[in-house]
């Protein structure tokens, strides 16, 4: 009985420790494979499924933009693709997040997000920019909060199932790409309640055996 209880406890501990942070590297995703994707496209990053949608379903496209003269881009938005999903942007200047654009990421599990990185329309670093702004919405796609890029880089937000990036049309909005960010799944697997119930049942059985 003790061996069985120990085995279940060890399994539970292994499940609880299995979650790990994943870096969603959109620069790497675009490398040699620049393209726009259809709304609802899911891409797996290190075991984490992320689904991409644009602001207007079927009208705009989440876009993975490749390096430009060695400088990073990453995730943006394209309004018109040359040949539909999987192809490149018809207007090379319309591949970042600019006025009227937004892109939404939905995760297959609740995550904590952090370590954001951004570049501007010219592929130059925005991470220390404490003047220009963007909008970010968490879980409610219409509940935007305004941040400077430097503020956004410093964010650590738990309990995230959805994140939306948009151009700030009322502040010091700046066109931008999302280079990437870290997403750490909450380490509570669906199997944990069953394992805990099993342990509780074994404990009850052990107490009954002692009484008899």
The backbone torsions φ and ψ at residue 193, rounded to the nearest 5 degrees and listed phi first, read: -60, -35
Question: What confidence score (pLDDT) does residue 186 get?
Answer: 86
The pTM for the full model equals 0.81
Question: What confidence score (pLDDT) does residue 188 get?
Answer: 61
- 101 and 169 Cβ atoms separated by less than 8 Å: no
Question: What confidence score (pLDDT) does residue 8 get?
Answer: 44
Question: What confidence score (pLDDT) does residue 59 get?
Answer: 75
Question: What confidence score (pLDDT) does residue 114 get?
Answer: 98
Question: What confidence score (pLDDT) does residue 189 get?
Answer: 54
Helix, strand, coil percentages, rounded to 5, for the chain: 20, 40, 35
Of 49, 33, 30, 52, the C-alpha closest to 41 is 52
Question: What confidence score (pLDDT) does residue 55 get?
Answer: 78
Distance CA 50, CA 143 (A): 20
Rounded to the nearest 10 degrees, the angle between the axes of helix 2-16 and helix 191-211 is 160
Kindly state the tokens that stand for 14: 């292994």
- 114 and 153 Cβ atoms separated by less than 8 Å: no
**Residues of the chain with confidence (pLDDT) below 70:** 1-19, 56-58, 188-212
Question: What confidence score (pLDDT) does residue 187 get?
Answer: 78
Question: What confidence score (pLDDT) does residue 14 get?
Answer: 45
Distance CA 110, CA 113 (A): 10
Q: Half-sphere exposure (CA, 13 Å, Cβ side) for 30?
A: 30
Of 211, 134, 196, the C-alpha closest to 169 is 134
The residues facing 180 across adjacent strands are 25, 117
């Amino acid at each position: 009985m003790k061996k069985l209880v120990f085995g279940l406890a060890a399994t539970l501990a292994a499940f609880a420790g299995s979650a790990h942070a994943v870096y969603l590297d959109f620069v790497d995703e675009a490398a040699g494979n620049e393209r726009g994707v259809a709304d609802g496209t899911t891409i797996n990053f290190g075991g984490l499924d992320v689904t991409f949608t644009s602001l207007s379903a079927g009208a705009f496209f989440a876009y993975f933009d490749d390096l430009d003269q060695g400088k990073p881009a990453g995730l943006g938005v394209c309004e018109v693709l040359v040949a539909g999903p999987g192809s490149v942007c018809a207007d090379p200047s319309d591949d970042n997040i600019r006025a009227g654009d937004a892109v939404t990421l939905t995760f297959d599990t609740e995550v904590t997000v952090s370590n954001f990185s951004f570049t501007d329309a010219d592929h130059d670093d925005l991470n220390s920019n404490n003047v220009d702004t963007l909008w970010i919405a968490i879980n409610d796609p219409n509940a935007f909060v305004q941040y400077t890029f430097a503020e956004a880089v410093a964010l650590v937000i738990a309990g995230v199932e959805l994140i939306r990036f948009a151009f700030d049309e009322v502040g010091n909005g700046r066109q931008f790409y999302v280079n990437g960010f870290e997403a750490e799944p909450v380490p509570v697997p669906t199997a944990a309640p069953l394992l805990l119930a099993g342990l509780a049942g074994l404990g009850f059985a052990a107490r009954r055996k002692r009484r008899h």
